[in-house]
């Protein structure tokens, strides 16, 4: 029996903070060695941090990475342990994303990434090139100072594997796990038993199962050991890397790290029986046949043994049941950890939130409350780093430290209800009760006098005073009166965030939190430079439906019972006068429901539908409920307001990325912001399709009959095809053919 103890890790790295990154890498290696591991894998680009972006174009970034690697190799960190360390490397004037394999203070191989991530949030081709040569390993000339430290001039560079005396190992890097023609296939046929994946994978709601399934499938089909390492935390941008390092063997997960954690370093180890890998492969005849005539992959032979032989008490790690968080827990824990990292690394003293008593701002408040609860739990578990950060941010003195989440919230969280004559007593009382449950320092600030001052100034300038629609005013007047309330709140929020610490004799400043959700951003149902304009926004990429589910969950699990009442209340901006015969409601103002917005968003972004293809798909989806002309009106209405309001995305507050249909303009959803909002060509095509459908009465009858059969669960072949859309918050949020 060949037994191999391996270790992988989650590291909370910070882009361009080489001191923090190097310290975490060293700590992870030390912990791996202490656990008895002889193989250690770290996250992708761990020395620089993954999110350096255009800093990768600077020679300094690569040079500093080499300096950090030299520091590691100059000590005893790599003694008797194979370490894969991620960093950028320039070879023949081309920059590559690499894993550097080190053992006993020497570099034994450098493996450049072959499949780059270049969609969604990723732009790796902007900074790196993919390695495309598969037939040979080439010599890489080490930098002179590294060469002197290791007593090596050149090392093997390229695609290949490491052949030790008792085990063979190879690398995959992040995206290569998910590619169709993955490197591990040929590597497995060449006898590689252990695959080491250094990853930089961000959190997204309902995404973890994709990673776990990919690792299981990789080892189920080809056999072998799969070690997966990941970043964990906010490394300086909109993404939160959710960790969940894993070790899988022959289709089973044997070790799983935390998905959401405040820890800077987490190391996961397992004892693997490598004979089980060879036995698993040898029993599959198709694998044997394919492996017997495949082109061999280049290798580096290492005259060293990593495995142990069986001894009493040495038991290979058993498979485990994978732990998945429900979406409500993901919304609670992911943004909470992201906020904590942002707070401690920005050197701010806390957060300030305009708390309206509605679903969105209440969700943000609950997430901050959850953050405080997580901090207290980690302090109780003895995490000295979290304790030190909490003491510094909360400005504790004389050896005091936080022991209660509500007391901690009182020190680092301001909430402000900024009411007007249009605000209701219900929202005011809900905001106050929630603040009490969380423990925030709460203000109730009437702003009618400020609004009146602005209107009086406007009247002196123009001789006119605008009126609300319910009082006989025009649409322009009504919109202007709403916008001025919203923008005053933004100015007041930033003023309080900068000055309230001074008022309370605290140092520093508070970060203003935004609370617009992904659906409102998509529709543009927000005022430019209102309370949606903040420093950061933890829910900017979360749908309204998911937020309402989160509120129900948080009312019970976070013990903020007032959230149940918040969730039950109809969404309203409360920017127009309250009348007995009129109540302002968000969905009425928007001309569409939040459920419809989620469907539009998924079709527009995930399935790349323009107006015409969206109309065609929704005709199938909503047939029997809406006529084609009604579907056309809805699609036109959505695209009209999407186009009119797209410019707002250019100034949208940086938001935690959680949803695959986010309209965030700066990184994720790259589209123009000036549109012809009448979409003349596309809308004309839709009108023509409606006419064609109306002429064909049989088409409508067939679709209605088909819809009725589907509702009864009957099976009937589809006529014409189309996408079925499942709304956000459902068990399966995907759109299927």
Query: What's residue 698's pLDDT?
Result: 53
Query: What's residue 722's pLDDT?
Result: 34
Query: What's residue 518's pLDDT?
Result: 87
- Count of CB atoms within 10 A of residue 89's CB? 21
Span(s) in the chain for CATH 3.60.110.10: 3-324
pTM over 0.75: yes
The architecture (CATH level 2) of 3-324 comes to 4-Layer Sandwich (3.60)
Tell me which residue of 218, 158, 229 sits closest to 188, measured CA to CA: 218
Judged against a pLDDT cut of 50, whether residue 277 lies above it is answered with yes
Query: What's residue 720's pLDDT?
Result: 33
Which neighbouring-strand residues pair with 41?
8, 84
Six-digit token pair at 54?
A: 């255009």
Average pLDDT of the residues of the chain = 90
- Count of CB atoms within 10 A of residue 132's CB? 9
The distance between the two most distant Cα atoms of the chain, rounded to a whole number of Å, is 93
Terminus-to-terminus CA distance in the chain, angstroms? 48
Would you call 175 helix, strand, or coil by DSSP? Answer: helix
Given 174, 234, 337, 370, the catalytic residue: 174
Given 28, 33, 44, 410, the catalytic residue: 44
| Residue 507 is a catalytic residue | no
Six-digit token pair at 266?
A: 């987490």
Q: Are 83 and 29 in contact (CB under 8 A)?
A: yes
Query: What's residue 373's pLDDT?
Result: 98
Given 84, 168, 258, 356, the catalytic residue: 356
Q: Are 224 and 193 in contact (CB under 8 A)?
A: yes
pLDDT in tens, 381-402: 999 999 999 999 999 988 899 9
Q: How confident is the model at residue 728 (pLDDT cuts 50, 70, 90)?
A: very low
| Residue 52 is a catalytic residue | no
Judged against a pLDDT cut of 70, whether residue 712 lies above it is answered with no
Query: How many angstroms separate the CA atoms of 171 and 537, rounded?
Result: 37
CATH, domain range 328-446+497-585: 3.40.50.620
Which neighbouring-strand residues pair with 10?
230, 266
CA neighbours within 13 Å on the CB side: how many for 118?
Answer: 11
- 428: Cβ–Cβ under 8 A, 6 or more apart, which residues? 357, 417, 419, 444
Judged against a pLDDT cut of 60, whether residue 702 lies above it is answered with no
Q: How confident is the model at residue 709 (pLDDT cuts 50, 70, 90)?
A: low
Query: What's residue 649's pLDDT?
Result: 85
| Span 97-124, average pLDDT | 95
Query: How many angstroms separate the CA atoms of 51 and 124, rounded?
Result: 10
pLDDT in tens, 466-500: 999 989 999 999 999 999 999 999 999 999 999 99
Span(s) in the chain for CATH 3.40.50.620: 328-446+497-585
| Residue 174 is a catalytic residue | yes
Query: What's residue 267's pLDDT?
Result: 98
Tell me which residue of 546, 126, 149 sits closest to 327, measured CA to CA: 546
Percentage of the residues of the chain whose pLDDT score is greater than 70: 93
Lowest mean pLDDT among 490-504, 516-530, 546-560: 516-530
Strands 82-91 and 39-41: parallel
Three-state SS sequence of 67-103: HHHHHHHHCCCCCCCEEEEEEEEEECCEEEEEEEEEE
Q: How confident is the model at residue 135 (pLDDT cuts 50, 70, 90)?
A: confident
pLDDT in tens, 157-199: 999 999 999 999 999 999 999 998 899 999 989 999 999 999 9
Judged against a pLDDT cut of 50, whether residue 735 lies above it is answered with no
Query: What's residue 657's pLDDT?
Result: 87
The residue that leads in pLDDT, 727 or 652, is: 652
Judged against a pLDDT cut of 90, whether residue 25 lies above it is answered with yes
Strands 225-233 and 194-198: parallel
| Residue 567 is a catalytic residue | no
- The structure tokens 């590294």 sit at 146
Query: How many angstroms separate the CA atoms of 671 and 216, rounded?
Result: 36
Judged against a pLDDT cut of 60, whether residue 705 lies above it is answered with no
Strands 350-354 and 413-417: parallel
């Amino acid at each position: 029996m060949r037994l191999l103890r391996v270790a992988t890790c989650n590291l909370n790295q910070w882009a361009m903070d080489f001191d923090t990154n190097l310290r975490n890498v060293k700590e992870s290696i030390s912990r791996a060695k202490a656990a008895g591991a002889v193989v250690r894998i770290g996250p992708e680009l761990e020395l620089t941090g993954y999110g350096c972006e255009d800093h990768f174009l600077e020679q300094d970034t690569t040079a500093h990475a080499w300096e950090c690697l030299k520091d590691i190799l100059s000590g005893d960190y790599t003694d008797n342990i194979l370490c894969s360390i991620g960093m950028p490397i320039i070879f023949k004037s081309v920059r590559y994303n690499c894993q550097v394999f080190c053992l006993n203070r020497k570099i034994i191989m450098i493996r450049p990434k072959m499949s780059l991530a270049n969609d969604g949030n990723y732009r790796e081709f902007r900074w790196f090139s993919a390695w495309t040569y598969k037939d040979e390993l080439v010599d890489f000339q080490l930098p002179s100072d590294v060469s002197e430290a290791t007593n090596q001039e050149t090392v093997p560079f390229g695609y290949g594997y490491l052949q030790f005396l008792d085990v063979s190992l190879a690398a995959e890097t992040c995206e290569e796990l998910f590619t169709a023609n993955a490197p591990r296939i040929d590597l497995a046929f060449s006898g590689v038993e252990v695959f080491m994946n250094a990853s930089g994978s961000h959190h997204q709601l309902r995404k973890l199962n994709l990673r776990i399934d990919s690792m299981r499938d990789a080892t189920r089909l080809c056999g072998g050991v799969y070690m997966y390492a990941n970043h964990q935390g906010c490394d300086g941008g909109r993404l939160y890397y959710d960790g969940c390092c894993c070790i899988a063997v022959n289709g089973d997960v044997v070790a799983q790290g935390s998905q959401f954690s405040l820890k800077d370093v987490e190391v996961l180890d397992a004892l693997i029986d490598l004979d089980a890998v060879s036995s698993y492969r040898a029993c599959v005849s198709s694998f044997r046949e394919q492996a017997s005539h495949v082109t061999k992959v280049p290798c580096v032979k290492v005259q060293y043994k990593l495995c142990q032989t069986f001894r009493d008490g040495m038991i290979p790690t058993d498979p485990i049941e994978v732990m998945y968080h429900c979406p409500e827990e993901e919304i609670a824990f992911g943004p909470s950890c992201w906020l904590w990292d942002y707070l401690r690394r920005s050197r701010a003293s806390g957060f300030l939130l305009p708390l309206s008593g509605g679903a969105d701002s209440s969700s943000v408040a609950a997430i901050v409350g959850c953050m405080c609860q997580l901090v207290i739990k980690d302090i109780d578990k003895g995490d000295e780093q979290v304790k030190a950060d909490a003491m510094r941010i909360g400005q504790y003195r004389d050896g005091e430290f936080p022991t209660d989440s509500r007391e901690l919230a009182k020190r680092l969280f301001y909430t402000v209800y900024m009411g007007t004559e249009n605000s209701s007593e219900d929202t005011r009382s809900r905001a106050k009760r929630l603040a009490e449950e969380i423990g925030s320092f709460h203000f109730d600030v009437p702003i009618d006098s400020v609004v009146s001052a602005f209107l009086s100034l406007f009247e002196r300038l123009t001789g006119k005073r605008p009126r609300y629609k319910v009082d006989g005013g025009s649409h322009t007047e009504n919109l202007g009166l709403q916008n001025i309330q919203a923008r005053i709140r933004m100015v007041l929020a930033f003023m309080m965030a900068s000055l309230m610490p001074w008022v309370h004799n605290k140092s520093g400043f508070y970060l203003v939190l935004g609370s617009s959700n992904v659906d409102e951003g998509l529709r543009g149902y927000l005022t430019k430079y209102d309370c949606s304009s903040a420093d950061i926004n933890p829910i900017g990429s979360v749908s309204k439906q998911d937020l309402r589910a989160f509120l129900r969950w948080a009312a019970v699990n976070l013990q903020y019972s007032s959230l149940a009442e918040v969730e039950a209340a109809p969404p309203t901006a409360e920017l127009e006068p309250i009348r007995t015969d009129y109540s302002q409601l968000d969905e009425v103002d928007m001309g569409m429901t939040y459920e419809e917005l989620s469907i539009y968003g998924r079709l527009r972004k995930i399935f790349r539908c323009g107006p015409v293809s969206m109309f065609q798909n929704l005709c199938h989806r909503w047939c029997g409920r809406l006529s084609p002309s009604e579907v056309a009106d809805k699609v036109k209405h959505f695209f009209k307001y999407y186009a009119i309001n797209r410019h707002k995305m250019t100034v949208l507050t940086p938001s935690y990325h959680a949803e695959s249909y986010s309209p965030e303009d700066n990184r994720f959803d790259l589209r123009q912001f000036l549109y012809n909002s009448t979409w003349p060509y596309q809308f004309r095509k839709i009108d023509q399709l409606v006419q064609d459908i109306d002429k064909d009465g049989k088409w409508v009858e067939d679709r209605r009959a088909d819809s009725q059969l589907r509702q009864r669960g009957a099976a009937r072949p589809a006529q014409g095809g189309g996408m079925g859309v499942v709304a956000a918050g459902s068990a399966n949020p995907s759109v299927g053919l």
